[in-house]
Amino acid sequence: MLPKKSIRPRLGWMLVIYSMIWLGLLGRLGFIQIVRGAELERMSLNQWAKEIPAEPKRGIIYDRLGRELAITTEADTVVAIPAQIVDPDATAAQLAAVLSMSKETVLERITRERSLVYVARAVTPAEAKGVRDLGLPGISFKVENRRYYPHINLASQLLGFVGVDGHGLAGVEYTLEGKLAGLPAQVVLPVDEHGDVLPEAKPSYSPPVDGLNVYLTIDEVIQHIVERELEVVMQRHAPTSVLAVAIDPRNGQILAMAGLPSFDPNSFNIYPDSLWRNAVISSSFEPGSTFKIVTAAAALNENVASETDQYTCLGYIEVAGRRLHCHVLRGHGTLSFTEAIYKS
């Protein structure tokens, strides 16, 4: 048996140690609840919440007079809540038949370990009705925005297109994505382990910010005329491609910019990607005879030539010791200034 004097110091040290442990636990508890309380609450809600993003309305693309070139419409998207699906195999088979998809693809999507998955985006009204008629547990719909180009191929390479996620992938849609897209809304609903919304849950909501509208210098009528004339060239001469730009000489504004062959941006995925590119601004080529208008205008402006001047074309000209031939080897003979431009 130890003497009482030797026990008291040990009890004192044990009391000090236990006190420090309890103070440490209380301090830790206070730090978690007071300092990190809000942060941890958000983290827990993220684990037990279903986020339902709501898309903003994408901005409209207008021509110079306010005529619509690209607008946004609504379309149904088929979504699945995997935790609520009773028979995944049978559900996949029925959805695949209505949506013209493979059963394997649908099954892989509806069995993912997520609270919400996309099955098919922007389906047709007939497909949406077919899915609704099935009445499958765990299968629902979400309304999404779909980009629509009312004039089909008109200015398609200039306007570009957007993907199924609503982001611009080419043309003006891509270049001005930051202005057109807007900011999505967010709805967060607390749910249980089965994905069901808690009965007394208070959802959080942040409203969407719609995208900005964009006005181009393009004139719809002039664009249509330019593309119509390019179609005539394609039919008459069967070139690989043709390009044209119409510019307002008073201010340099682009009134039309076209290239053929083109594509329908409403169904861009069925066309080869070589047609998506706007060759007018992305391809390099020599201007050739098209530049003669610039030099002729400069000559007239500087009064070194007049419309009545006469020129003789022998079929060639000597420049810096080299003989450059005319496309008519025998020459054109005597031509006026206007005829020289027309026939060169």
Which of the residues are catalytic? 289
CA dihedral of residues 134, 135, 137, 143 (deg, nearest 10): 100
Residue among 239, 252, 251 at smallest CA distance from 279: 239
Q: How far apart are CA 74 and CA 159, in angstroms?
A: 20
Quick one: how far is CA 171 from the chain centroid?
A: 9
- Residue by residue, DSSP assigns 76-102 as EEEEE-GGG-S-HHHHHHHHHHHHT--
**Distance of alpha carbon 212 from alpha carbon 61, whole angstroms:** 9
- DSSP assignment of 178-235 equals HHHS-B-EEEEEEB-TTSPBPTT---EEE--BPPPPEE-S--HHHHHHHHHHHHHHHH
CA 194, 198, 203 angle in degrees (round to 5)?
120
